[in-house]
Amino acid sequence: MSAAAAGTTAPALDVRGLTKTYRTGLFRRTGRAALKGLDLTVHPGEILGYLGPNGSGKTTTLKILMGLVFPDSGTATILGAGLRESRWRHRVGYLPEQPYFYDYLSAGEYLDYAGRLFGMTAAARRDRAGHLLELVGLRRSAGVPLRRFSKGMMQRVGIAQALINDPELVILDEPMSGLDPIGRRLVRDIILGLKGQGKTVLFSTHILSDAEALCDRVALLRGGELVRVGDLAGILGTDVSHMEILVAGLGREAVDRLAPALRATHALGERWRLEAGEESLGKIVKGVEEAGGRVLSIQPVRRSLEDYFIKEMGERTEDGWEREG
Amino acid sequence: MGAGRLARVWAVAANTFRETVRERVLYNLVFFAIIMTLAGLLMGQLSIRQDEKIIKDIGLASMELFGTLIAIFIGVGLVAKEIERRSLHPLLAKPLGRDEFFLGKFAGLSFTLLVNVLVMAAGLALTLAGTGRRVDPHLLKAIYPIYLGLLLVVALALLFSTLTSSALAAVFTVGMVVAGRFSDVVRNMREVAPGAPAWLVQLLYYALPNFRNFDFKDRVAYGDPVPLAAMGTVTAYAAVYAAVVLLIGMSTFRSRELS
């Protein structure tokens, strides 16, 4: 973590006691609490992953920050300015969840339009749009109307428009949504590139492997409340949870004989993946060799963010938590 | 309004105009051209004074009808569709105020309608000239108020567009336009409903936009004089009424949650 991330400078984003209830019904008497007194700080230069199941309040938080919905109570400052002030908007980029852009425009025209809203000159808009289209891999589609774009291409346009003003703070709502593995890798690289340039990134995601690969810190949200915030090592710990042993040349009977020392077994064609505690490792290796098998690899396995999250969220997978590896 | 604000309003307006052009809104001009060509061909059968009036009548009425349809059905989608599709979310996160977005939308559609009206006016003049009739500059005294009336329709459509869905906004705007065309009926309501309170009738009469104020078609077509002062009066009426409607629209849009 950088010095900035350690909190030695003013936060890039500071949220205090943010509360929001959505009112529904004819007389707006019924309400659904989306946020319950949220406190959150994002330090300059860090990547913070904002995680939580569907309906936990992630998108509501980001919409409040962008002034799209209004909080019932609480305050927030963005780059030192209050939400109602507009000066921070020149220094922030935002990608909404499942974005829709004018389909009668091409990607180049949309970026030009976005640049105009920042008061950029025509030359600066042209240069920046060209650079960003190259960055998101759409240079050759710059003149194609957006109505012909796939969901993944639209998402890339969304990321490009969020960066048109070379922002200091980038807020991305589900940036990996709709992207294929190549697109996800590209967006990961963009996010890491932003951090390399000293930018601050706050992004919400469903995909835990992305959060684990990218974030300095993560904030876990459940039911509109912050469950935990901190760096990944602090949350997950560095202890090995179990060992994974890949073996070949063993029959089912031999594996069954080893079973008392194992936590789990998985048949992989002619090979087996065995899971065991660290303390049983010697016994298992010896047992495999005695049965005429071969140990192909042994890997220590740490607790993953997914393991942590599933435990914290009480196995509420029906909420839409996505378990991608 | 500062230069930055003005540039952003202009950017939204230019994009709105581009949208209407690319969505083929100006294709209505083809229908207008067909109507004017048919009118020119058919009127050759009538006497010279009569057919000139009929060509003017048809041209001005088409101008008003097509303009009103565009103002309503494009106008109601300007904000409502953006909310429904969430296309304004990335825009409002930028240094674009909601008031600027709203005014830009108004200016963009107003410009589309101006182009539409000007092209139709040129079409009417061409029809008159092409059939050997006099091109009367006094036609502008009917065309200009038609355009003012269209601006008022756009303002109303935008207001309803901030309050509800585009479908309901269209219903409300059509209702206001129809009620505004028959505002005399509202004024004389007590003749058919004597129990209606006088203050309510008065309030309704003045609150509804009086679109008859913008109707100079017959006077111009018949060659009756239209004083310049009348143009000043309708300009002031349109400016004040549209300003009030736009201010209400901006106020409701400012407080609208975009969830």
The top-scoring range by mean pLDDT among A243-257, A275-289, B234-248 is B234-248
Residue that wins the pLDDT comparison between A285 and A305 = A285
Spell out which residues of chain A touch residue B259, defining contact as CB-CB under 8 Å: 22, 60, 63, 68-69
CB of B107 closer than 8 Å to CB of B20: no
A202 shares its domain with A283: no
Which two three-digit tokens encode residue B74?
A: 């494009």
Query: What's the residue count for chain B?
Result: 259
A105 shares its domain with A52: yes
- HSE of B42, CA atoms in CB hemisphere, 13 A: 9
Short-list B175, B180, B249, CA closest to B209:
B180
Query: d(Cα A132, Cα A138) in Å, to the nearest integer?
Result: 8
Q: Which residues of B touch A (CB under 8 A)?
A: 4, 7-8, 11, 15, 18-19, 22-23, 85-87, 89-97, 257-259
Query: d(Cα A1, Cα A233) in Å, to the nearest integer?
Result: 11
Cα angle for residues A246, A249, A255 (degrees, 5° grid): 70
Question: Do the chains contact at B96 and A117, CB–CB below 8 Å?
Answer: yes
**pLDDT at position B45, please?**
65
CB of B95 closer than 8 Å to CB of A90: yes
**pLDDT at position A323, please?**
43
How many structural domains comprise chain A? 2
Query: d(Cα B121, Cα B29) in Å, to the nearest integer?
Result: 11
Question: Which of A116, A146, A171, A177 has the highest number of chain B CBs within 10 A, making it the mutation to test binding with B?
Answer: A116
B127: Cβ–Cβ under 8 A, 6 or more apart, which residues? B36, B37, B39, B40, B55, B59
A103 shares its domain with A205: yes
A3-48 pLDDT, tens digit each: 444 445 789 999 999 999 998 876 777 888 999 999 999 999 999 9
Average pLDDT, integer, range B211-232: 91
**pLDDT at position B41, please?**
67
Domain boundary among A206, A236, A266: A236
Place of tokens 């949200």: A221
Query: d(Cα B108, Cα B97) in Å, to the nearest integer?
Result: 16
What is the 8-class DSSP label of residue A4?
A: I
**pLDDT at position B35, please?**
82
Average pLDDT, integer, range A166-178: 95
Distance from the Cα of B8 to chain A's closest Cα (Å) equals 5
Short-list A68, A146, A71, CA closest to A102:
A146
Residue that wins the pLDDT comparison between B51 and A191 = A191
Which two three-digit tokens encode residue B243?
A: 């300003």
Question: Do the chains contact at A22 and B259, CB–CB below 8 Å?
Answer: yes
Residue A97: helix, strand or coil by DSSP?
Answer: coil
**Candidates A96, A105, A165; nearest CB to B89:** A96
Spell out which residues of chain A touch residue B26, defining contact as CB-CB under 8 Å: none
Average pLDDT, integer, range A110-116: 98
A205: Cβ–Cβ under 8 A, 6 or more apart, which residues? A49, A50, A51, A174, A175, A176, A211
Which two three-digit tokens encode residue B30?
A: 């083809």
Residue A184: helix, strand or coil by DSSP?
Answer: helix
**pLDDT at position B114, please?**
96
**pLDDT at position B237, please?**
96
CB of A125 closer than 8 Å to CB of A112: yes
**pLDDT at position A104, please?**
94
A217 shares its domain with A250: no
B116-147 pLDDT, tens digit each: 999 999 988 998 888 888 888 999 999 999 99
B15-50 pLDDT, tens digit each: 999 999 888 777 777 778 788 777 766 776 665 566
In order of A33, A35, B156, B199, B256, the CA distances from A72 in angstroms are 10, 9, 31, 40, 14
Residue that wins the pLDDT comparison between A4 and B99 = B99
DSSP letters along A300-311, please? EEEPPHHHHHHH
Query: d(Cα B198, Cα B189) in Å, to the nearest integer?
Result: 9
Query: d(Cα B246, Cα B131) in Å, to the nearest integer?
Result: 43
**pLDDT at position A142, please?**
94
Spell out which residues of chain A touch residue B97, defining contact as CB-CB under 8 Å: 86
Query: Does A307 reside within a domain?
Result: no
A145 shares its domain with A172: yes
**pLDDT at position B201, please?**
85
Q: Which residues of A touch B (CB under 8 A)?
A: 22, 60, 63, 66-70, 86, 89-90, 92, 94-96, 98-102, 104-105, 113-114, 116-119, 158, 161-162, 165
Residue B110 pLDDT greater than 80, yes or no = yes
CB of A231 closer than 8 Å to CB of A220: no
A39 shares its domain with A113: yes
Average pLDDT, integer, range B246-255: 96
CB of A213 closer than 8 Å to CB of A304: no
Spell out which residues of chain B touch residue A70, defining contact as CB-CB under 8 Å: 257
Helix axis angle, B228-254 to B98-130, nearest 10°: 150
- Say which range, A232-236, A277-281, B220-224, has the weakest mean pLDDT: A232-236
Instruction: List the single residue in A with minimal CA-CA distance to B20.
Output: A104
A162 shares its domain with A59: yes
Question: Do the chains contact at B90 and A113, CB–CB below 8 Å?
Answer: no
Spell out which residues of chain A touch residue B18, defining contact as CB-CB under 8 Å: 104-105
Query: Does A244 reside within a domain?
Result: yes
Question: What percent of chain A clears pLDDT 90, i.e. is strictly above it?
Answer: 65
- Say which range, A92-101, A265-274, B181-190, has the weakest mean pLDDT: B181-190
Query: Does A248 reside within a domain?
Result: yes
Question: Do the chains contact at A102 and B8, CB–CB below 8 Å?
Answer: no
A42 shares its domain with A109: yes
The CATH number covering residue A244 comes to 3.30.70.980
Question: Do the chains contact at A100 and B87, CB–CB below 8 Å?
Answer: yes
Spell out which residues of chain A touch residue B85, defining contact as CB-CB under 8 Å: 100
Residue that wins the pLDDT comparison between B187 and A23 = A23
Residue A263, domain extent = 240-302
**pLDDT at position A308, please?**
78
Query: Does A318 reside within a domain?
Result: no
Spell out which residues of chain B touch residue A68, defining contact as CB-CB under 8 Å: 89, 92-93, 257-259
A241-280 pLDDT, tens digit each: 888 999 999 988 999 999 888 988 999 988 999 999 888 8
A190 shares its domain with A286: no
Query: d(Cα A273, Cα A286) in Å, to the nearest integer?
Result: 16
Residue B157 pLDDT greater than 90, yes or no = yes
**pLDDT at position B68, please?**
94
Average pLDDT, integer, range A287-314: 83
Residue A192 pLDDT greater than 60, yes or no = yes
Residue that wins the pLDDT comparison between B45 and A215 = A215
Instruction: List the single residue in A with minimal CA-CA distance to B94.
Output: A89
Give pTM, 2 decimals.
Answer: 0.85
Which two three-digit tokens encode residue A23?
A: 């009112």
A146 shares its domain with A68: yes
**Candidates A86, A92, A102; nearest CB to B87:** A102
Distance from the Cα of A108 to chain B's closest Cα (Å) equals 13
**pLDDT at position A322, please?**
45
A248 shares its domain with A210: no
- Rounded to a whole number of angstroms, the distance between the first and last alpha carbons of chain A is 25
Residue A206 burial (CB count, 10 A): 19
Helix axis angle, B98-130 to B48-75, nearest 10°: 160
Name the β-bridge partners of A297. Answer: A246
Residue A77 burial (CB count, 10 A): 18
Question: Do the chains contact at B95 and A117, CB–CB below 8 Å?
Answer: yes
Distance from the Cα of B161 to chain A's closest Cα (Å) equals 17
Query: Does A309 reside within a domain?
Result: no
Residue A58 pLDDT greater than 60, yes or no = yes
A110 shares its domain with A255: no
Residue A68 pLDDT greater than 90, yes or no = yes
Question: Which of B6, B19, B23, B89 has the highest number of chain A CBs within 10 A, making it the mutation to test binding with A?
Answer: B89
Work out the pLDDT band at B166, boundaries 50, 70, 90.
Answer: very high
What is the 8-class DSSP label of residue A275?
A: E
- Say which range, A5-14, A199-208, A210-219, A238-247, has the weakest mean pLDDT: A5-14
Query: Does A228 reside within a domain?
Result: yes
DSSP letters along B179-243, please? HHHTHHHHHTHHHH-TTS-HHHHHHHHHHS--GGGG--HHHHHTT----HHHHHHHHHHHHHHHH
Query: d(Cα B171, Cα B197) in Å, to the nearest integer?
Result: 27
Beta strand segments in chain B, E: none
Average pLDDT, integer, range A277-291: 91
Spell out which residues of chain A touch residue B8, defining contact as CB-CB under 8 Å: 116-117, 119
